Every structure is written in structure tokens, then in C-alpha cells.
Amino acid sequence: MSEMREVLRHYFNIGTPAEPEWVLLGDGITSLTEEFNPESETKQYINQSNGTTTLKSYTPSISVEREYISDELQKWINEKIKTLPTGSKAISEYVRLNLMDTPTTGGDYPAVKRRCTYQFDSVGGDAGAELISAMTLGGVGDGIQGTFTVTEGSEAFTVATA
């Protein structure tokens, strides 16, 4: 049996790595797909009938189109659009988790946290339609395994211990 989209959650940090402020990427977003963008290389040697594929890396990214809803995420977007940060000023992080995973005894869910760049693609829309903000989150480096507290107002990521 298939599951509904709401079990796969993405949280975005509008704070800092030292003092994170996690917001659910949810309200105002009608579609969100995390692309893994695999990079592979295929070679065929002279003694082979068929080639060999080697998977080299992944560069996850998320494109977000969001209706303008006055909340903490939109306020953050509005402030960042004023200066359009680049380089190290355009780095944050996101967490991905699946509510179908078995939570810990404390109720936290297994999760992966990724550093990411954020870029603003557009703001606007058609006449008579909702105002739309579009941004892209681009993965930076390896994901960090851990758990995530999903209790509203107490969201937190904890790095897994070996």
C-alpha cells in the first residue's frame, strides 16, 4: 500500500548552525521533491561486451515554490531577498525524515541533516493569483545521520553516536 506525501518531512534552518531555528517546509508548498542528482561514469573496456557504470557522487537539491504566507519562513525569505546573499552568507542546512521510520524511545525520528546553499529563483506570479516565492536548496558535502525532534516549538537535530 502506498503512503501519503505528508510522511516525508523536510525542515529548514532559518537560524544559524550554532542556534538553529527549524521550520517545516509545508504550508504554502504544494509540491516538494528532493532530487539526488547522481553523477556516474560509464566505461567499456576492449575485452567487454557491455560497459561498467561507476557511481561517483550525489548532489542533493530541493526546489521550493511557496505561496506567500506570512509566517517565520516568509519573513526570513523577505529579509534575505533584500540583500541576495552569496558565498558563505548563503549557507544553511535542512533535515529530512520519514514519519514511517520507527521513532526512538524518546519519540525522535531517524533523520539526515545536510548543509546546503540557498538561492532565490523568483518572486511573483500571474495577475489575480497568489504571490509565489521560489528558492533552491543545494546540498553541500555529506549528510549527517542522527535523530530529529518533531514537536512544534522544540524541533532539534541530534547527531548519531557511533
Cell of 157: 537535530
pLDDT-derived band at 1, boundaries 50, 70, 90: low
Please tell me the predicted confidence (pLDDT) of residue 152. Answer: 86
- Locate the domains of the chain by residue range: 5-159
For 42-73, b/e burial (b = at least 16 CB within 10 A) is eeeeeeeeeeeeeeeeeebbbebbbebeeeeb
| Mean pLDDT, residues 89-115 taken together | 96
Cell of 110: 531517524
| Mean pLDDT, residues 86-97 taken together | 97
pLDDT-derived band at 2, boundaries 50, 70, 90: confident
Q: Which amino acid belongs to residue 104?
A: T
Does the domain spanning 5-159 belong to CATH 2.40.30?
yes
Judge whether residue 15 has pLDDT over 90.
yes
pLDDT-derived band at 116, boundaries 50, 70, 90: very high
Strand boundaries in 71-131, DSSP class E: 91-98, 109-124
pTM of the model: 0.91
Rounded to the nearest 5°, which phi and psi values hold at 16?
A: -125, 165
Judge whether residue 153 has pLDDT over 90.
no
